[in-house]
Structure formats: C-alpha cells, structure tokens
Chain A
Amino acid sequence: MQLVVNILVLASIYALIACGYVLIYRVSRVLNLAHGELMMLGAYLLVATASGLSNSPVAALLLALALSLVVGGMVYLFLMRRMTGEMVLAAVLTTVALGILLRGLILLIWSASPRHPRDMLGWENPVFTLPGDARISLYAGLLIVSTVVVYGALFLFLRFGRWGMRMRAAGQNPLLAAQRGIRLHAVFALAWGLSTFTGATAGMLIALDSGLDSTMVMIGLKAFPAALVGGLDSLAGALIGALIIAAAEVGVIRFIDPLLADVVPFLVLIVMLVVRPWGLFGTREELDRV
C-alpha cells in the first residue's frame, strides 16, 4: 500500500513538471530544456517571499505563484520572442543557455546551502496514516491534489477556453494563426507563463515538503522522460508517462537498488525511443520537427 502511495506522489511530481514541457512544445515546437531551472527558480521565489512576508505565509505563497507566472511570460517576451518564427533548434539551444544562466544566478543569490521555506513560513508538515497502513505527508498529499486540479483546469482551458483554442491553433499552424489575427506573441507568452507556473507549483510543494537546494534541477530533468514517454504533444500522455516512470523508479528502489533511482527514468526513455520514438500518445508526424 505504501508502495502505491509512493508511486502516486512521485508520479504527481513528474506529471506536474512534465505538463510544462508539453505546453510549450505543443504551442511552439520548442523543447524548453530550462524547465527544471525555472521550476527551481519558482521554489526559490517562495524562499524570497517567505523571508519578506514571514508573518503572512499565505500571501507569501500566492505572491510567489503569481511571480512565477510573470517570470515565465518575461522569459518569453525578453528572450524567446526573438526566436519566434526562426529555426526551432536555435530556440532549443537558447533554452539550454538560459538554464545554465539561471543555475548560476540562483547559486549567486541564494548560495548552495539547503533552504527550508516551510520553517520560514512557520508551517507544520503532519503525516497522515491512510487505510492499509500507508503514510503520506501533508504536502505530498497536496502535490497529488494540485496535479489533479492543474490537469483538470488545463484540459478544460485547452478544450473550451478561447485562448486555449488559440494555443492549439497556433501550435498546429502558427502562420495561419497569425493570418487569422491571433497575436502569436501573446499566445506564446501565455504558454510560457502557464508552463513556469505549473513547474513552480511543483517546485514549491517539493520545497515545502522536504526542503530545497540546487539539486532540485535533477527532478526537473527526470520529469522530461515522463513527457517524452507519453508523447511530447499530449497532456494525457504526460500523465500516463509520469505514472510509468514513477512506477519504474519506485519499483527499482524497493526491489533492486536505491542507487539506481536517478538512472531509471532515462533507461525507460531509451527503451521508449527505440520502440516508439513519438511516445505513447504523441502524434507520429510531429517527430521530424523535433
């Protein structure tokens, strides 16, 4: 039973991060390789607001979330905007550079020592015992809840929201979208904002649960196989992919060797790339554009 809970928690972490990769890829065909760093930046934003607003913790959390949305939009407007309509590879390389830059910047500002935003905000992290004698901490539970909420909201938004439809349209054919009068930059900025927001949500909850230091990037990196296994342009795929990766990882930790944990997602990724390179739910013809 504990095994199932562990898988679910890890899967929600991966899913929450992976939907950021999917959102940006679907809209602009750009692989955002700085997503892990942006997620970590989101978590550090919470550290920053927590030290400023330590007497009103809820405000600090909301402010950090809002800031992450803004940061994502800004990354697009000031950096990626120039890459719109250019070669996709150039944009992907730009995100790599951005990631390295962010990592350095975070080290400079917050140093490498671990931070515990939960203590700064003065919150507890009680552990609940579920039926079947499984245990789950409050923030791990919140991770599962927010994954469900975020995915539900994203599905509804993309399906029925006017801007969601525009995002799908721009993803399919940016030229035609522009010719229909859709402001591409607004759509892309929104995608970057939402993607950073969801990533940062994951980052903050992980940091609240178990503290934060610069190794958090690794989690972001491990969520990338989840997005790819599910198919990079499919939200449902990201959910399933996250579940598969998490199950494999938890299974290996439990039954084989905990030291293998960081390798497993990439092993699954390689197997997937050999067998079905466009992912479980991905569209086949999308592949040649990567």
Chain B
Amino acid sequence: MSLLTVDKLEVVYQRAITAIQGVSLRVEERQIVALLGTNGAGKTTTLRAISGFLGLDDARVTEGSIRFRDTQLENRPPYEITRRGLALVPERDKVFPNLTVAENLAVVPSRTSGTARKMEERAYHFFPRLTDLRRRTAGLLSGGERQMLAIAAGIMCDPDLLLVDELSLGLSPVAVEELTKSLVAIRDELGVSILLVEQSATVALGIADYGYVLENGRIVLDGDAQRLRDHSDVQEFYLGHTGSDRRSYRDVKQYRRSRRWYG
C-alpha cells in the first residue's frame, strides 16, 4: 500500500471556484515525488488540500479522497494532519519572522513526548549553518537560510512525509544545490518520503524518483523521472531544451507549438 494516495481530488475555493479537478497521485515509502507545473496550475492547492485548510482559506475538498496510511485526511484541520506525520514547508510565510531561529524550532510540538531534544539535534544536523544563527531573528535571514529553517522546522514535526512547496523559488543556484542535497540526505537517513512541488523541472527531476505534470488543475502526464526527462514535451516546455543542440533557423516553426499531452 502506498504511503499517500490522492484519488480524483477536487478542491473548490469560496464555494465557487474549482481550483483542481480529478488530481490523482501516489507517494510510496522513501520516495521523492515531483509535482511539476506552471503558475496557477494547481500545485500549491494540491499540497494545501493534503496538508489541510483552515476556515480562513475558505476552501474545501469537494470530491475525491486523500488517504495517508490508513486514515482519510480530506477536510481535517492542519494541526491534526501534522500530528499524523505529514509536514508542510509552505511557499510563502514559511517561518515566524519575529521569533528567533531556535524559537522557530522550539514551538513545534513533538509527536511523541520527550523527543523534542532529539528532534532539535536532528534539525541542526541536517542544517549545521543554523547552529550559528540560533539567536538570529528569523525575519533577518536570507532567502536560502529561511528555506533551511523552514525545512528544519518541518523535520521537527517528525514527519513520515514532507511536503515541500517551491524549494527553489527566488534562490541562487548554489543555495538550491545545497538544499536539494539536504532533501536527499533527509530521505536517505530518516526514510522520510518527500512530495516536492516545483516550477523548475531541472531541479525537481534531478532528485525525484517519480514525477507528475499538472496543468490547469489536471494531471496531464506522469512517469519515472527518467521518462519525464526524456519526454519531448517536458523537454521543450519545462526543461528549455529544443531537441538537437544546433538547429537552423530555417527549421524553426513560425508559431509556438501548443502543448498536447498524450501521456
């Protein structure tokens, strides 16, 4: 049985706007799964639906199911879901800006009592740079450090599945490289599965085992990372390759090829 099974998920905002429709995906144990797509494709909504909505979001899962291990997760509040072993690293507002780095980690309640100390050591083990920044206010961290802290806080939740929204957004290639390495290390050492939402297919398919492509609120393509990397449409629209290395301008079509997905 899969760790996480999302089946024909439909999410409606403000009782009127359908954000995603019929999204199905699976995450197996110890797997890194990438969810690709352009702006507004519904990636973040999918992650938010899995990690739970608050009343504030005015959003609901109206159809389909989310099963994590043996429990159904749809429309439960986030704090219940996190305590079941599913932690989210959100896209924006991912740290508490007025709390220090150490406090950001300390506020996370431990899933099993008495493990707070161990979890903290673990977080600093994966992100040693945070050790020096312990007393720094989180709002003063750089983008890369902030992302580190967010992932570290995610690990503090002692998750079985880590959901990461936009790992590389607004970060330098060096920082992204470092972060992807830590994610792989977290998977290898802790056996945590990771569902990674990304705009940059190069980053995501570099570390993922499996990938899904989401467009206009629907899954249009899925497969092994290798298969997606080789897929001509993914190459053209997400990886920025144009097929052969050199191409004569005479062969370039005058119109932009539209995306047609046949799986």
Contact = CB atoms under 8 A, between A and B. Distances in A.
Contacts of A85: 54-56
Contacts of A184: 77, 79
B56 A180 contact: no
B97 A178 contact: no
A181 B103 CA distance: 15
B106 A165 contact: yes
Contact of B96 (A86, A172, A183): A172
Contacts of B97: 172
Interface of A is mostly: helix
A180 B99 contact: no
Contacts of B94: 176
Contacts of A113: none
| Contact-residue bracket for chain A | 20 to 34
Contacts of B98: 168, 172
Contact of B79 (A165, A169, A172, A182): A182
B83 interface: yes
A180 B111 CA distance: 11
A253 interface: no
Contacts of A180: 82, 87, 107-109, 153, 156-157
B157 A165 contact: no
Interface residues of B, number: 31
Contact of A168 (B83, B90, B99, B109): B99
Contacts of B79: 178-179, 181-184
A183 B104 CA distance: 16
B150 to A, nearest CB: 9
A177 B104 CA distance: 10
A175 B107 contact: no
A125 interface: no
B107 A179 contact: no
B93 interface: yes
A181 B111 contact: yes
Interface in B54-72: 54-57
Central interface residue in A84, A166, A169, A178, by most chain B CB within 10 Å: A178
A173 B93 contact: yes
B88 interface: yes
A85 B54 CA distance: 6
Central interface residue in A86, A165, A166, by most chain B CB within 10 Å: A165
B42 interface: no
B240 to A, nearest CB: 33
A68 B207 CA distance: 55
Interface string A137-149: 0000000000000
Nearest to A83: B55
B211 interface: no
A182 B153 CA distance: 12
Contacts of A169: 96, 99, 103-104, 107
Interface in A238-262: none
Given A168-B98, A172-B97, A179 B78 contact: yes
Interface of B: 51-52, 54-57, 77-79, 82-83, 87-88, 90, 93-99, 103-104, 106-109, 111, 153, 156-157
Interface of A: 84-86, 162, 165-166, 168-169, 172-184
26 contacts: A85-B54, A85-B56, A86-B55, A86-B56, A165-B99, A165-B107, A169-B104, A172-B97, A172-B98, A174-B54, A175-B54, A175-B78, A176-B95, A177-B96, A177-B107, A179-B52, A179-B87, A179-B88, A180-B87, A180-B109, A180-B156, A181-B157, A182-B79, A182-B107, A184-B77, A184-B79
Given A86-B56, A165-B99, A177-B107, 9 more contacts: A85-B54, A166-B109, A169-B99, A169-B103, A173-B93, A178-B79, A180-B156, A181-B111, A183-B79
Which 8 A-B residue pairs are closest in the complex by CB-CB distance? A85-B55, A181-B82, A178-B78, A85-B56, A85-B54, A169-B107, A179-B78, A178-B79
